[in-house]
Structure 1
Amino acid sequence: MKFLLTIYGNEEIWGSYSKEEFEALIAADAEFQREIRESGEFVSVEGLTDPANARTVKIREGVPVVTDGPYLESKEYLASFFVLDCENLDRAVEIAAKYPTAKTTGVEVWPLMEAGGTDV
């Protein structure tokens, strides 16, 4: 079963870290990635650029309307994501709990639909 782990950024929290704390967070991320790669559950990971670089597209009266970035109602934004291939939801939750930012901004776990659009 495949799962999406969404990792959220928060500039206020990240900006409060000392250089050493931030480096420790990066090292913990590297260790997390090493563990899931070795377990065979890693599929992919992607980081996202600053939300200011994103665009939101909506169709209004048949015309695409493009606005800068997502409209953020909170200080948190989608910063990166992992795709995992795990035995079940419980295992995906167990892995998500090990991600360093689970202690601050949290990690969402989303089961992915199977080919053909069916739920797992």
Structure 2
Amino acid sequence: MEKAKILSDLIEKKGISRRAFAEAAGIPATTLQSMLTRGVGRASIDSVIKVCKGLGITIDQLEKMAAGETEEFETIAAHKEGEEWTVEELETIKKFKEFVRSQREQDKNHQG
């Protein structure tokens, strides 16, 4: 998926206007609009960092989402039920899910 589309969707999920998000992130609304229409690759790294920080994600996570590798992250974030999870908390949740899966596999192996 295209990075600009991912950012646009994540901003939309926040439930605020692009202008309000840009202001909160510390960049001009025109810079955000340009990033979302012309592409993230044409934006300054400082602007990309500010947008990612405003969304509570890292640039690495954006890269992984664009590569289709972080469906879990998006799913967890979508089901936060009004709570504000930090990136670290989401990572802890992800690790816990991996632990539970490994326990399930061990249980299967011991039963078989």
Q: Do Structure 1 and Structure 2 share a fold, with TM-score over 0.5?
A: no
Normalised by the length of structure 1, the TM-score is 0.24
Structure 1 or 2: larger helix share? 2
